Amino acid sequence: MTDVMHVLPYLVAAWVFLAGCYGLATSRNLIHAVGCLSVCQAATYVLLLGVGYRKDATAPVFSDIKPGSRTVVDPVVQALTLTDVVVGATVTALLLALVVQIAKRHGTVDPDELSELRG
């Protein structure tokens, strides 16, 4: 059990990432594809925070505990993830704006129909 526990978060991150990639590649609707991309993003958050975790530690926030009284987890990866969550949402919005434009220009959001239109 403990051996599995040593890699389980990383494996979950890998699984989520691959699932998102599969959805992206087989998607028939660009809005669905953007949703799958946000699933891929979630995988990176799980991986980063998994790397920064320390057993039996707590958050490095000292508003309600004394500094040094408890071991703390790694704050650096948390800072990376925190900004990315919000910035990732605006990037999702940018992609959705592109989808709206595609729907206006071509009247469809199915990637297969779109490539037929081009070819």
Partner 1 sequence: MSRRVRLWLVLAAGTGLAVLLVAACLDLPNFGGDRHPYGDRAVRASIARHTANVISSVNFDQRAFDTLGEMTILFGAVLGCVMLLRQTRDEHRARPRPAEVAPPVRRYALLVLPVALVTGIYVVAHGQLSPGGGFQGGVVAATALHLLYLGADYGALERIRPLGVYEVGDALAASAYVVLGLAGLLGSTAFLANSLLPYGTFNTLSSGGTVPLLNAAIGMEVACAVVLLLARFLDQAVEIEKENGE
Partner 2 sequence: MADAVIVVALLLVAATATVAVATRDPARQALVLSVLGVVLAVLFTVFQAPDVGLSQLAVGSALTPLLLMLTVRKVRRRGRDEEHER
Partner 3 sequence: MNGWTLAATVGLAGGLGTALWGVATGPLRRRVVAQNLATALACPAMLLLAQGYGRPAYVDLGLVLALLGPVGTLVFARLLADELAEDPPRAWVATWAVAALGAVTVIALCVATGPSRAMAKLLVIGALLIGGNVIASRALAGGFRRVGRG
- Which positions lie near partner 1, rule CB under 8 A? 5-11, 14, 17-18, 21-22, 25-26, 50-55, 59-64, 67, 72-79, 82-87, 89-91, 93-94, 96-98, 100-101, 104, 112
Q: How far is the CB of 4 from partner 1 (least distance, A)?
A: 10
CA max distance for the chain: 66
By C-alpha distance, which of 91, 97, 116 is closest to 106? 116
Tell whether residue 89 is a contact of partner 3 (CB under 8 A).
no
CB 21 within 8 A of CB 61: no
d(CA 14, CA 83): 22
CB 83 within 8 A of CB 115: no
By C-alpha distance, which of 51, 49, 25 is closest to 37? 25
Tell whether residue 87 is a contact of partner 3 (CB under 8 A).
no
What is the contact surface with partner 2 in residues (CB under 8 A)? 5, 8-9, 12, 15-16, 19-20, 22-23, 27-29, 31-32, 34-36, 38-39, 42-43, 45-46, 49-50, 52-53, 56-59, 61, 72-73, 78-79, 81-82, 85-86, 88-89, 92-93, 96, 99-100, 103-104, 107, 109
